[in-house]
A and B are shown apart, each in its own frame.
Chain A
């Protein structure tokens, strides 16, 4: 094996344990697994409700047949005892402004095995009827797409890579151990690649695993038949592209924060600048958009994030790339940005001096 390749592997092997188990970096695991915990709690709640409500399933056709204007006692008589029956009163001023009138409210809940039905009565008469699936694949997929793009890529992978990659050189400066590496017969560029490799393995494993666990947690509370159908259709593709986007996020942000750690002492400054750059990227000309990691990552996501109709047009631009790049172009573009940033980092590491007194 070529000496440089051997040295890169040796450096990566020596550094990877530190990248995984650094005390400074334990919060990275929290970031990576936070969405999975949320989905697990949600899935657990869905499973619990389904189990609890399954003893009182009401016929779907009967529930659909309930119309506005019916009385609560009629509905109860036709559908049987509900899952929930709440009643309360509220006093309000009458039209004359003096007399207090009392209104009686009642809320009945039924379950047809998949959906829950909520009937709201005012003074005994049905005013509103809500129907909501307990949990659906479509809904969960939308939520996952939103969580993945708004939280995972923009914040978790972003700050996780900041924590892992900024530490690779800056952490050595703080620990006063950088000279150990600089006194080895290793080209500085080889050292950079070895350390980057170690950081990348750690970040990709932590966040890639986080993505996979979150994806599985998202499916956990759903109807097994729906899940099976999903795995036989779009599921594997979605999981693959989400994982690819995560790993490429680590590749891109990793290079950016590695370079930032070499060029700057305070990690907050590059973090704020890069976060700002990524946030305003949607407003920039197409050429500048391509100098953003997020642009390529969003292009790779299999589902667009849900955008509420009430969200202003300006915000919509922020939330999705104006013109997503094709997958191959997105991957090549991101790798291109990474190579460019690593080249800048290699220039910086060649100039870097061990001067702990000033760090």
Chain B
């Protein structure tokens, strides 16, 4: 049985509105981030994986299971949705324990697992309060508790870090890493790209319902050979270095910093840029530091969505 999540030519339409279009993906275990703007199809992909919606075309396999078989699938899957509501009148404790009872756990075991999950998200104090009275961050945490309470092999989280304070955010990220370290799938979406950049093993970039890039973040970057890399250079004679750089055709843009001791350089070839810098240094120009300015998903994403500008 495959331990990957596989999308094969999956399309989903909401009436005449495109959800996702001919998506093919192989998601290995580890932390995978779905990145894209609002309406790009991130939640649609997640809902398709969980069987909350059904594909119009194509097939989906989650570790060998079909999303159309919730009885089997949801034993191994936890989904922390963006849907904010809990069944009417439920307390945080009831919200988690009711889901565990539906798994078939005995009342005692469900109680034990409920408290364990609630403790993991630090909500013990508020466990018997109604979910409807929770703050946004607390609702986020109780949903997370519910999704991890049965120790799923696949944990799917739609914008899981929204509304969390920095401390809880750090604890939550640690929890994701803990899950991933056990060989499980952790798939999350976020529009806070810096967070995704830091915690992900893989990234899937999605726009307008189509996958535009997937893989490890650095590999994705390598694949985008046309993607201009940005570098910040500090040097005493920035104007002279700028003129030397600009003579090369792979350099697409050079901006001089206001203090005339810094440069922002855009190049289409990291390799040739590296050789050029060596020659400049050997030619007697002092270079104090070189920093890559765009080594996060943000820049890559902007580049890809922006059509390779």
Contacts and interface: CB of A to CB of B under 8 A. Distances in A.
Interface of A: 3, 6-7, 10-11, 14, 17-18, 22, 172, 175-177, 179-188, 190, 350-351, 353-358
Contacts of A179: 52, 79, 81, 83
Contact of B75 (A172, A185, A187): A185
Given A14-B98, A355-B14, A182 B52 contact: yes
Nearest to A9: B101
B85 A177 contact: yes
Nearest to A190: B71
A10 B85 CA distance: 21
A245 B104 CA distance: 35
Interface of B: 14-15, 47, 50-54, 68, 70-75, 79, 81, 83-89, 98-99, 101-104
Contacts of A185: 70-75, 102-104
Contacts of A190: 71
A333 B83 CA distance: 42
B93 to A, nearest CB: 13
Contacts of B89: 17-18
A353 B98 contact: no
Contacts of B51: 182
Contact of A187 (B70, B101, B103): B70
A99 to B, nearest CB: 77
Nearest to A172: B87
Given A175-B85, A176-B84, A183-B70, 9 more contacts: A7-B104, A14-B98, A14-B101, A18-B89, A183-B52, A187-B71, A188-B70, A353-B52, A354-B83
B53 A6 contact: no
Nearest to A15: B87
A181 B14 CA distance: 22
B131 to A, nearest CB: 10
A32 to B, nearest CB: 22
Given A18-B88, A18-B89, A183 B104 contact: no
B14 A177 contact: no
B86 A177 contact: yes
A175 B83 contact: no
A160 B247 CA distance: 83
B53 A353 contact: yes
7 contacts: A7-B102, A175-B85, A177-B83, A185-B70, A185-B71, A186-B70, A354-B47
Contact of A353 (B54, B79, B86, B88): B54
Contacts of B85: 175-177
A48 to B, nearest CB: 43
B71 A186 contact: yes
Nearest to A351: B54
Contacts of B14: 355, 357-358
A17 B47 CA distance: 29
A141 B101 CA distance: 48
A115 B184 CA distance: 84
Contacts of B98: 14, 180
Contact of B83 (A6, A11, A176, A181): A176
A179 B81 CA distance: 9
A181 B99 CA distance: 8
A180 B83 CA distance: 9
Given A18-B87, A184-B103, A354 B53 contact: yes
Contact of B104 (A6, A180, A351): A6
A356 B104 CA distance: 28
Given A3-B104, A11-B102, A187-B70, A356 B83 contact: yes
A180 B71 contact: no
A79 B68 CA distance: 85
In order of increasing CB-CB distance, the 6 nearest A-B pairs are A185-B74, A184-B102, A354-B52, A353-B53, A176-B85, A185-B75
Contacts of A11: 102
Contacts of A350: 68
Nearest to B19: A355
